[in-house]
């Protein structure tokens, strides 16, 4: 709590409202309660009662035992004051016995109060007279939060696994489609090659005839072969030339086949 003279009321505001900045509200309610019960509290005041109340209403004036007793009665909660010991040095009880969690304060250096909260049994709001108000069971809340976090984690893991499976399924489908397309492509060329084999045989015969025509030996007038006969380089086509000629003819045939193939497919489709 801030050390500004309002530490007692700050500690009570933290215990009652959960916010020490509401100390002015606690102080005002406390002094109003003392005024209403003047007959009881005046016996414990050693100065003029009205002056005492007026002085205690100032926001930075320290509170003492009289205000603690008034606050205990106001909120009907026991107030325990601790000072460097595990046992309280002072206990203030309300007008009626209550089973609610007590308000615990620590007292330091004979001039400063702090708030002591029990994390396993929160008591904010107890003593305000709220109807049907119950303090939050921290253990139950922790269990609910843990269950919710576990469910959210399970949902996230399930979504991630589904995404991974979907990604694997898509990759498998793509691989299958690529394999089918590859097999279809290979099969298409196999069929094309099978259809071109008879055409290739005809082209081979034509090239053979052409090669035979190229062999033009020079015969003598007597019907005998000239010294520069068929074996002469000038009188025959070389095997290399015949092979090149056959390749050209075959390429021309393939080009023509590829050119007319789409037209034939369209005709078949019609």
Average pLDDT value over all residues in the chain: 74
Return the pLDDT at 76: 83
pLDDT of 228 strictly over 80: no
Indicate which residue of 32, 83, 100, 112 is catalytic. 112
- Concerning whether 112 is annotated as a catalytic residue, the answer is yes
Q: Which residue(s) pair with 79 in the sheet?
A: 92, 103
Number of Cβ atoms within 10 Å of the Cβ of 217: 13
The verdict on whether 4 is a catalytic residue reads yes
pLDDT confidence of residue 258 = 61
218 or 131, higher pLDDT: 131
Percent of the chain with pLDDT over 90: 16
Predicted confidence (pLDDT) at residue 185 exceeds the cutoff of 80: no
| Choice among 4, 50, 137, 145 that is catalytic | 4
pLDDT band at 139 (very low <50, low <70, confident <90, very high): low
Average the pLDDT over 204-222 and give the result: 47
Average pLDDT estimate for 228-243: 48
CB within 8 Å of 67: residues ≥ 6 apart: 8, 9, 30, 34, 56
pLDDT, residue 219, reads 41
Residue tagged active-site, from 7, 14, 23, 30:
7
* Cβ neighbourhood burial of 98 (10 Å; 0-12, 13-18, 19+): middle
Contacts of 71 (CB under 8 A, 6+ apart): 12, 26, 30, 79, 92, 103
110 vs 219, more confident: 110
């Amino acid at each position: 709590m801030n050390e500004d003279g309002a530490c007692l009321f700050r500690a009570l505001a933290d215990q009652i409202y959960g916010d020490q900045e509401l100390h002015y509200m606690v102080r005002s309610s406390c002094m109003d309660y003392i005024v209403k019960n003047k007959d009881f509290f005046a016996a414990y005041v050693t100065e003029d009662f009205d002056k005492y109340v007026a002085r205690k209403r100032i926001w930075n004036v320290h509170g003492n035992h009289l205000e603690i007793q008034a606050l205990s009665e106001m909120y009907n909660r026991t107030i325990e004051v601790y000072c460097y010991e595990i046992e309280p040095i002072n206990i203030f009880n309300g007008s009626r016995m209550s089973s609610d969690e007590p308000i615990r304060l620590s007292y330091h250096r004979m001039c400063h109060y702090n708030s002591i909260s029990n994390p396993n049994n929160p008591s904010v709001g107890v003593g305000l007279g709220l109807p049907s108000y119950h303090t939050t069971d921290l253990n139950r809340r922790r269990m609910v939060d843990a269950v919710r976090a576990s469910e959210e984690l399970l949902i996230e893991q399930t979504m991630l696994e589904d995404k991974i499976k979907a990604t694997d399924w898509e990759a498998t489908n793509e691989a299958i489609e690529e394999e089918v397309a590859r097999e279809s492509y290979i099969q298409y060329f196999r069929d094309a090659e099978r259809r071109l084999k008879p055409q290739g045989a005809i082209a081979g015969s034509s090239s053979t005839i052409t090669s035979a025509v190229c062999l033009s030996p020079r015969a003598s007038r007597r019907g005998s072969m000239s010294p520069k006969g068929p074996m002469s380089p000038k009188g025959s086509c070389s095997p290399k030339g015949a092979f090149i000629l056959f390749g050209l003819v075959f390429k021309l045939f393939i080009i023509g086949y590829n050119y007319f193939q789409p037209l034939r497919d369209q005709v078949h489709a019609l």
